[in-house]
Amino acid sequence: MSDRHIFTVETRSPKETEAVGARVGLAVLRSGRKPFLAMFGDLGAGKTVFVRGLCSVLSPGSRVKSPTYTLVNEYRRGTIPVFHFDLYRISGADELDGFGFDDYLTAGICVAEWSEKLGGEVPPDTVTVRIEKTDEEGRRITVEGLAVPEEEIR
């Protein structure tokens, strides 16, 4: 099975977007991998909602909120730590060098909102998540790099 699987899911509410995040979290947990999840989407697209679902499986009971002003939130209630980054305020990947970013990559599962700020410099084991608004509450979520049957995520 190729690691470059691509699939798209349409959701009609934040609750459904969160549920897709939970299913991706379950797939990551089952895989035994500690991937970097590179998230892309406009402001208000639902990236943090998706991460809330992801963490409901990977770090149950964690209060997930956007790390806009802290750069990273850590969730350690599961077997593998989850590090939730918001890269909106950085100017480029080199800004993360002095922050110990590589240490986070080896310590747990990293999820980064606004990954376009990395300028294509993503770690080798990257799962890409793109969230697009289709209407007020509808979203199109495209996941690439998660080697699971598509029906596990739908």
Residues 95-142: tens digit of each pLDDT: 887 788 889 999 999 999 999 988 878 888 899 999 999 999 999 999
In a domain, 74, yes or no: yes
Distance (Å, rounded) from C-alpha 143 to C-alpha 9? 8
In a domain, 1, yes or no: no
User: Order of strands, edge to edge, in the sheet holding 109-113?
Assistant: 6-11, 139-144, 126-133, 36-40, 109-113, 82-86, 72-75
Instruction: Say if residues 74 and 57 touch (Cβ distance below 8 Å).
Output: no
Quote the pTM value.
0.90
- Its domain, for residue 115, covers 6-148
In a domain, 76, yes or no: yes
In a domain, 97, yes or no: yes
In a domain, 154, yes or no: no
Residue 24 has pLDDT above 90, yes or no: yes
- Render the burial of 111-145: b for 16+ CB within 10 Å, e for the rest: bbbbbebbeeebbeebbbbbbbeeeeeebebebbb
Give φ, ψ of 58 to 5 degrees.
Answer: -80, -25
Residue 148 has pLDDT above 90, yes or no: no
Distance (Å, rounded) from C-alpha 48 to C-alpha 50? 5
In a domain, 125, yes or no: yes
CATH number of the CATH domain containing 138? 3.40.50.300
How many structural domains are present in the chain? Answer: 1
103: burial class by Cβ within 10 Å (0-12, 13-18, 19+)? Answer: exposed
Q: For the residues 21-32, what does the mean pLDDT come to?
A: 92
pLDDT at 2: 43
Tokens of 119: 């300028």
Residue 151 has pLDDT above 70, yes or no: no
- How many other C-beta atoms can be found within 10 angstroms of the C-beta atom of residue 40? 17
In a domain, 25, yes or no: yes
Closest CA to 80 of 117, 105, 114: 105
Pick the range with the lowest mean pLDDT from 13-22, 36-45, 52-61, 111-120.
Answer: 111-120
In a domain, 153, yes or no: no
